[in-house]
Structure 1
Amino acid sequence: MSLEMKLVAITLDCPDPLALAAFYRQATGLELHPESDAGFAGLNGEHGLFIGFQRVDDYRAPSWPGQVVPQQLHICFEVDEDLTVVEAQLLELGAGKPDHQPHGDKARVLTDPVGYPFCISLR
């Protein structure tokens, strides 16, 4: 038996929903959901996918690649430009770059401003 489910939303815990939504909005060009506020913010994505950001008191950032605080989530993005160029732009927006880079030249692992790891790779 196979279920027919469509993924419609992904929600990340964070200390400041509007700030994290702003980071991903600048990185992806997605539009901020009009009902976003300090407790919950969101971005309207392609094909109806919604990316949400919810405030969590005492938020603890993932410690990737370590597991003191597990990563909990890992998002992958494809890009059309040179990875070095895109990486530099994301670092300017507030992303971090862990020393551990397991994919060589095929992809880069970065972290968003609250510590969630994400990958960028060429489309």
Structure 2
Amino acid sequence: MALAKLDVVVLDCPDPRALAGFYAGVLGGEVEAQEDLSWVDLKVPGGPSLAFQSAPGFTPPQWPRADQDSQQFHLDLTVDDLDAAERGVLELGAKVLDAGDRSRSWRVYADPAGHPFCLCAS
């Protein structure tokens, strides 16, 4: 029996509205912002919500590093077409973190605030 239910994944970032917009472009959904824009929710269709919290002095995680400023966590996003999804996330402002073996079933990027995420073939 579960003790809890996952409600939302929260990402610290310097600009919650901008990062919510990036993930809305990737995942779809509806962006809902608080008046002061220190917290922004993204209601993702068919999945858990993402939230973005203002973090003054935010330092993006480093990938791959096992010591200080490690990635701490990352999102795996399942896609039907890795090449098409890659073009889309790059147009939205993602950066490639690992341009390694293109025959793998996954690729690693950073969102505009520097959080690592993977596109994974379905």
TM-score range, shorter chain: 0.7 to 0.9
Please give the secondary structure, in 2, of the residue aligned with 1:26.
helix
Structure 1: gaps of 5 or more residues:
none
CA distance in 1, matches of 2:107, 2:87: 11
Asked whether 1:99 is paired with 2:98, we answer yes
Aligned-pair Cα RMSD in Å: 2.1
> How many residue pairs end up in the alignment?
121
Aligned residues with identical type, % of pairs: 37
- What pairs with 1:73-112 in structure 2 (closer than 5 Å)? 73-80=73-80, 82-99=81-98, 101=100, 104-112=103-111
Contact 2:33–2:39 (Cα < 8 Å) also in 1: no
- Determine whether 1:69 maps to 2:69: yes
Which 5+ residue runs of structure 2 have no aligned equivalent?
A: none
Aligned equivalent of 1:15: 14
**CA offsets, 1:43-82, max 9 Å, x none?**
01245622100001100001111244111221011112x2
Which of the two has greater strand per residue? 2
* Structure 2 SS opposite 1:98: strand
Q: TM-score, normalised by structure 2?
A: 0.87
Deviation, 1:3, is 2.5
Aligned partners of 2:103, 2:114: CA distance in 1, in Å?
Answer: 21
- Secondary structure of 2:96's aligned partner: coil
